Structure 1
Amino acid sequence: MKLATCLIAAGAWAGSAHAQDLSGTDGAGGTSRDDIVITAARTNLPASALPLTVDVIDTEALARQVTVSGSVVDAISALLPAFSPTREKITGSGETLRGRSPLYAINGIPQTTPIRDGARDGYTIDPFFIDRVEVIYGSNALQGIGATGGVVNQVTARAPREDGWSGRALLQGNAGDDFSGDALGGKVAGLVSYRGGRFDATAGATFERRGAFLDGRGRRIGYDGNQSEIQDTDTLSFFGRIGVDLSDTARLEIIANRFRLEGNNHYVPVDGNRATGTPATTRRGTTPGQPSTGIAQMVSASLTDGDLAGGAFTLQGFYNRTSDTFAGGILATFQDARIAPVGTLFDQSRNVSRKLGGKVSYERAVPGFEALTMTLGFDALIDRTEQSLVQTGRSWVPQTDFRSLAPFAQGNLKLLNGLVRLAGGVRYENVRLDVPDYTTLASSGAQFVTGGKPSFNRALWNGGVVVEPMTGVRAYGSYAEGYTIADIGRVLRGVSTPNVRIDDFLDLTPVISNNREVGVEVKQGPLTASATYYWSSSKSGSVLVRNADGIFNVVRQPIDIEGLELNLDTLTPLPGLKLGFGYSHVNGRTDTNDDGLLEADLDGANISPDRLNLNAEYAAGRFSARVQGRYYLSRRFEGQPIANDFTGYQLFDASIAYEIPVGRVMLSVQNLGNKDYVTYYSDTQGPTDNARFYTGRGRNFTLSWQATF
């Protein structure tokens, strides 16, 4: 609670991050903030009615930021101070929102794999097909399992509103600071839509080639031979949608997406040397085994009616399949003397997950008591996941089924003509796991494990109050429970004792994170300001602990996290110039020796550094520009190795754009100052791991042409 004093001081001028304007417009595409509907919140009420901390990154802001940094994950990390620095790899392991893992979703469809988290859920759709990104902060169960840090919902391109043909196109080229051939990349993308009366259809495709990444000294950045890479890859993506307006309020829609990212195998890793400060790099060569690949396929069908018996009805069904092949290595975990001499066996793993799910909800004001809006719904999810070793055909995580059934109810009561709103609800989770008999790898003793069907039932509550004493000034307080389960795959594959029975061994107790927050918001004239103080706790949390070979295990430990977020945006007396400021402080504690005391800080794999964001935007006529700075502040992790202390660094990005007769030309520069730095994750993890001693990306140029028609 030590931050409470800071909050009171900040409360005089700031407030919660409700639908914070990140784009230079009012929320989502120029709509008034109070009219924004956050689809990930499972309600048609505007964001102003909800005791939630929410940011909306609209189409313009997202397109500009993706041009700078290349992905939705990088864009979110750059814009939102509460999001940790990315690893600059394809894996999202260790990337957190408010110190916990976020749930990535596409149109509300979860991308996270609960059984064996492959940590690639931020790379399942091309950002060209995304209309906006909704970020709900803090633990919640609005979308089910996984949102202990919040929800990152990617809303796909909307259907055309007028009859006829329309679309958009993108051409871009990318180069490192020295414009060498190794570091060149490019992207081409197109999306075409047609509407005729009540019928509409959309189809799109993108292709992107990424070259090698160079650091601030022009060196090739090290290649992650375990978790795989985003550099030196090709991505081919397809998107389609067919919709029919059944009436003025009802719509049937089918959406399909296929995303494939594959490594080009042009480089092999070269270890660095932490003692001398020499970072890991690469050399030309062919990576052994199959190319690292990430494939995500999704089909969803939805039926919505905004005026069914006076309420809003939503029915959604979906199929989602991911297949992730990881780059391999001669890792201790993979060794088996029955196959090859120990220390010589190369292998790599593949994680395959298939999800089937459905959601139904109905929302309306209670007849005769119109001030109360109720939402009732039911969610179902069935996930089947298996992780195998590609080269030897061994099973690492057995084919395991996860089933979740969850009814929920939410209420929102408007009092005193909107001066006060009370909100709250409950979600009841019924979860069962089905694990077959299996045998662990030789490195775990080749133990035979008797399968089982562990389960749990849990009610997850939320509640809050919103007070708006005058137009443009509001305050709120809330409590919400979110949940996940520890990475079951890591637990199953790590069994090393004989005669284990899953029903007796597996701790399926959910990680329940209790999120409490208070905040205020002020929007007066040219000024928008906000502050939020939050604290969350888990009696039996889930902490990643790194092995010597870089593979993580899950340890159940109690966790306490608290933080403060400040944001300020203001127009200036100079027409067209807008300034922005953001700050995030977060602190996490855990019990590493099981003595009941939280004696150690969470390390860099589980918590982000304190951070300051500054930005300036200018627009005049056809010309616009933006410059932004991120200050990652130094950090000492009490109770962790001194070698994992974080020294901090600063990064600046810039972009300029000009509207031409056909489209817009934009030049973006990432890491404008060509800062040479070790990434946050590498700096705070594995103090003796020379293979994963990575520097960050140096100055990088992107020239793009975008057009709509």
Structure 2
Amino acid sequence: MLLASAALWATPALAQAPNGADNSDVIVVTAARSVLPPNALPLTVDIIDRRALDQQSAIAGSVVDAVSNLTPSFSPTRGKLSGAGETLRGRSPLYAINGIPQSTPLRDGSRDGFTIDPFFVDRVELIYGSNALQGIGGAGGIVNQVTVGPPAQDGVSGRALLQRNAGTDFKGDGLGWKGAGLVGYRAGRFDATAGAAYQQRGAYYDGHGRRIGTDSTQGETQNSDSWSFFGRFGYALSDTARLDLIASRFDLKGDGRYIAQNGNYLINLPTTSVRGDPPGQAAANRTESIGLSLTDKSLFGGNFVSQVFWNRSRDTFGGEVAPIATFQDVRLAPIGTLFDQSQNRSRKYGTKLSYERAVPGFEALTATVGFDTLFDRTEQVLIATDRVWVPPTDFRSLAPFGQVNLALFDKKLRLAGGVRNENVRIKIDDYTTLASYGGGHFVRGGAPKFSDTLFNGGVIVEPTPGVRAYASYAQGYTVPDVGRIARAVNADGVDIDTYVNINPIVSNNQELGLEFKRGPFNLSTAYFWSKSAKGQVLVFIGGAYEAQRQKIAIEGLEINASVATSVPGLTLSAGYAHLKGRTDTDGDGRLDADLDGANISPDRVNLSASYDRGPITARFQTQVFLSRKFDGQPAANDFEGYAVTDVTVRYQTKFGGITLSAQNLFDTFYIDYYSDTVRPTDNAHFFAGRGRNVTLGWDYRF
């Protein structure tokens, strides 16, 4: 994957012509940080547009589910508030809203997929593979959620949404509903848009009609309430220059009405939920983001983008007593009696500045220069006993970059390349680990600095419109889960200044791609290799996951195809992804085991039929997750595979659109991928997937 550069500006996406022949219809992918069209970049890029996002949201209700349903190399979702183990191409993606990072890599709480309601998202941009496009965090790729744009014309406009959903048996505690509204106003150069969304989710039931188990520690989307607020205020300084302020806030909190009841993995009986009062505060997620952008699409003949942003998140995890041995301390309470729960607190701010234009006198060469900054402060505290689990950690990144793109032979051949220099400092003061880590160890703080120069390069060949091949090399850059590493120090004499385990992760990604988009046919395929000499693997130790630094190698194949049939409005699509990941578990330099289900997704086949004609739009889709054995892992971790089918139908009337959707149409019973491959013998976390879920919705635009 390529590019470490260029512009960040949420301009509206335009649908790409099926034959690739009309450049005026080319999408501007803001996550790529360039105004060059996608066919000019050696990247695998997907766009989930407004209509596709509305369909997937009607089926499953979240941006994460939409991305997972449509992307074969993305992991099946867990159906929980936590996204731990959900990967893209075997690595964690960077979630962003208008380019503002939502991920918290210093202490990954895995809540970054739930930071805004999809009602306020205009499209989702996916860039596959390790890259440094948005700085740290894009190990598996980028999931950029571009929010709704300004009103198209003067006056008042808006939209409203009402939904009601239920499981197969329409049980009272399984009922949920959602209401959302958005109002925009434009008067000349000024515009303002504001909206709110509220969703109440009921209990989830599996394909056998049993209530799905509650993960009270990591958090649930079932039996929860969420509020999402959005505001956008803009002013056109000129025909090409614009000032935008965009803000959002998202709150999701569990209702705390259920506790888990153990299942029995030996007889394939999943964990369930029963009425009860879990101790402490319910698991919750709160995220706030503000971004101020000044842009000029024609500043001295080029595209200028500047952005200042601020983001804050607070992830509250549920607590338990005896099972979480990590929290125990005999100085506070006898073993087996101490209750506690943790909370991640993260605050980040930064800037992005770039300028892109064709070189005067040599218009075939487009050059970009820019500078990014990011400041992050994260800690994890135990809120019941007022202890610190992860000490306050400060991160600073200063990153100048440059990029060039050369078009030759009437744009039939392009050469691209660039460089980005990441200057990073991680600062931790002196601290002492919890008593459960060998009695507690004093760790001398420090402020180690790291500097890495990241390169990328690629070649794109497009001999005729709609036929494109590319080859690329790019380096991704992120930090390990410093919080997990710092809190788990179990030896004396550790000094943060020299502790090698917190060194940043550099991933090297190579890719070959081929695309054919002509007439009714659309075919794309990509093969990639991704390696990290010192990557990160999550390992379950002593009741909690800890991060271990291991050598990692991942390779995979992705194929997607679609055809517009002779039936007007009917399109058939298919997708396939094959991934293989290996790791060095003993540090001898040899890859001796497969990555497990917490670190890599299963092979998958996606099949779908879409219909769009007149007042009717519909989609029928099936995801087939193929069985897998993991070399070097316990036999119990083997994955049996399963298939899930969804359907959605919408009918447009003059009074709005009526949508009827069904998730897991055939009410298939299955154990979810994460439970089946990561903790398959843990009866308290042996979770089934969600059974049939029906949603009826009405939406109206004015």
SS in 1 for 2:497: helix
1:536 paired with 2:530, answer yes
SS in 2 for 1:417: coil
CA separation in 2, counterparts of 1:395 and 1:82?
37
Residue number among 173, 187, 196 corresponding to 1:182 in the alignment: 173
SS in 2 for 1:194: strand
Code of the residue aligned with 1:171 in structure 2: it is L
Which residue number corresponds to residue 563 of structure 1?
A: 556
Q: Residue by residue, what CA displacement relative to the aligned partner does 1:78-125 show, whole Å, maximum 9, x if unpaired?
A: 011010111111111111001111000000111111211111011111
CA separation in 1, counterparts of 2:102 and 2:22?
28
Residue number among 123, 126, 148 corresponding to 2:139 in the alignment: 148
Which residue number corresponds to residue 514 of structure 1?
A: 508
SS in 2 for 1:585: strand
1:501 paired with 2:498, answer no
Code of the residue aligned with 1:135 in structure 2: it is L
SS in 1 for 2:651: strand
Q: Residue by residue, what CA displacement relative to the aligned partner does 1:351-400 show, whole Å, maximum 9, x if unpaired?
A: 00000110000001111111100010000000011100010000001111
Which residue number corresponds to residue 653 of structure 1?
A: 646
Structure 1 residue 33, shift from structure 2 partner:
8.7
Code of the residue aligned with 2:248 in structure 1: it is N
CA separation in 2, counterparts of 1:134 and 1:601?
30
Which residue number corresponds to residue 475 of structure 2?
A: 481
Q: What are structure 1's unaligned runs of at least 5 residues?
A: 1-21
CA separation in 1, counterparts of 2:547 and 2:615?
52
Structure 1 residues 159, 24: CA separation in 2 closer, same or farther (over 3 Å shift)? closer
Q: Residue by residue, what CA displacement relative to the aligned partner does 1:538-587 show, whole Å, maximum 9, x if unpaired?
A: 111111111242x1111111111111111111011111211000000010
After TM superposition, the structure 1 = structure 2 runs for residues 663-678 of structure 1, keeping only pairs within 5 Å, are 663-678=656-671
Partners of 1:454 and 1:508 within 8 A in 2 = no
CA-atom RMSD in angstroms = 1.5
CA separation in 2, counterparts of 1:399 and 1:613?
43
Which residue number corresponds to residue 305 of structure 2?
A: 314
1:403 paired with 2:396, answer yes
Structure 1 residue 507, shift from structure 2 partner:
2.7
SS in 2 for 1:616: strand
Which residue number corresponds to residue 332 of structure 2?
A: 339
Structure 1 residue 672, shift from structure 2 partner:
0.5
Partners of 1:34 and 1:48 within 8 A in 2 = no
Structure 1 residue 350, shift from structure 2 partner:
0.5
Residue number among 40, 43, 49 corresponding to 1:52 in the alignment: 43
CA separation in 1, counterparts of 2:609 and 2:197?
31
Partners of 2:368 and 2:402 within 8 A in 1 = yes
CA separation in 2, counterparts of 1:23 and 1:158?
13
CA separation in 1, counterparts of 2:337 and 2:500?
33
SS in 1 for 2:676: helix
Which residue number corresponds to residue 677 of structure 2?
A: 684
Q: Residue by residue, what CA displacement relative to the aligned partner does 1:416-470 show, whole Å, maximum 9, x if unpaired?
A: 1101011110110000011011111110122121110111000011110110111
Residue number among 430, 447, 470 corresponding to 2:441 in the alignment: 447
Structure 1 residue 489, shift from structure 2 partner:
0.2
Structure 1 residue 247, shift from structure 2 partner:
0.0
Which residue number corresponds to residue 155 of structure 2?
A: 164
Partners of 1:23 and 1:61 within 8 A in 2 = no
Q: What are structure 2's unaligned runs of at least 5 residues?
A: 1-12
CA separation in 2, counterparts of 1:238 and 1:625?
29
Structure 1 residues 76, 277: CA separation in 2 closer, same or farther (over 3 Å shift)? same
Structure 1 residue 492, shift from structure 2 partner:
0.8
After TM superposition, the structure 1 = structure 2 runs for residues 196-215 of structure 1, keeping only pairs within 5 Å, are 196-215=187-206
CA separation in 1, counterparts of 2:232 and 2:27?
24
Which residue number corresponds to residue 525 of structure 1?
A: 519
Code of the residue aligned with 1:368 in structure 2: it is G
Code of the residue aligned with 2:645 in structure 1: it is F
Code of the residue aligned with 1:161 in structure 2: it is A
1:192 paired with 2:186, answer no
1:416 paired with 2:402, answer no
CA separation in 2, counterparts of 1:703 and 1:513?
44
Which residue number corresponds to residue 459 of structure 1?
A: 453
Code of the residue aligned with 2:591 in structure 1: it is L
SS in 2 for 1:143: coil
Same amino acid, percent of matched pairs: 59
TM-score (norm 1): 0.95
Partners of 1:209 and 1:233 within 8 A in 2 = yes
Q: Residue by residue, what CA displacement relative to the aligned partner does 1:401-423 show, whole Å, maximum 9, x if unpaired?
A: 10000001011000011010111
Code of the residue aligned with 1:345 in structure 2: it is L
Which of 242-251 and 567-576 deviates more? 567-576
CA separation in 1, counterparts of 2:659 and 2:651?
7
SS in 2 for 1:678: coil
Which of 30-39 and 571-580 deviates more? 30-39
After TM superposition, the structure 1 = structure 2 runs for residues 219-234 of structure 1, keeping only pairs within 5 Å, are 219-234=210-225
Partners of 1:454 and 1:506 within 8 A in 2 = no
Partners of 2:16 and 2:25 within 8 A in 1 = no
CA separation in 2, counterparts of 1:600 and 1:628?
34
Code of the residue aligned with 1:329 in structure 2: it is E
CA separation in 2, counterparts of 1:356 and 1:24?
33
CA separation in 1, counterparts of 2:649 and 2:596?
37
Structure 1 residue 620, shift from structure 2 partner:
3.1
After TM superposition, the structure 1 = structure 2 runs for residues 624-643 of structure 1, keeping only pairs within 5 Å, are 624-643=617-636
Which residue number corresponds to residue 360 of structure 2?
A: 367
Structure 1 residues 24, 576: CA separation in 2 closer, same or farther (over 3 Å shift)? farther
CA separation in 1, counterparts of 2:566 and 2:23?
22
Which residue number corresponds to residue 133 of structure 1?
A: 124
Which residue number corresponds to residue 13 of structure 1?
A: none
Residue number among 94, 106, 109 corresponding to 1:115 in the alignment: 106
Structure 1 residues 90, 665: CA separation in 2 closer, same or farther (over 3 Å shift)? same
CA separation in 1, counterparts of 2:25 and 2:450?
39
Structure 1 residue 687, shift from structure 2 partner:
3.4
Partners of 1:679 and 1:695 within 8 A in 2 = yes
Structure 1 residues 188, 537: CA separation in 2 closer, same or farther (over 3 Å shift)? same
CA separation in 2, counterparts of 1:290 and 1:523?
52
Partners of 1:456 and 1:508 within 8 A in 2 = no
CA separation in 2, counterparts of 1:226 and 1:546?
15
Partners of 1:23 and 1:58 within 8 A in 2 = no
Which of 613-622 and 173-182 deviates more? 613-622
SS in 1 for 2:266: coil
Partners of 1:484 and 1:510 within 8 A in 2 = yes
CA separation in 2, counterparts of 1:275 and 1:256?
49
TM-score (norm 2): 0.96
Structure 1 residue 499, shift from structure 2 partner:
2.8
Q: Residue by residue, what CA displacement relative to the aligned partner does 1:174-219 show, whole Å, maximum 9, x if unpaired?
A: 1011000111000000000000000000000000000111000111
1:298 paired with 2:289, answer yes
Partners of 2:15 and 2:27 within 8 A in 1 = no
CA separation in 2, counterparts of 1:223 and 1:673?
23
SS in 2 for 1:287: coil
CA separation in 2, counterparts of 1:335 and 1:225?
18
SS in 1 for 2:52: helix
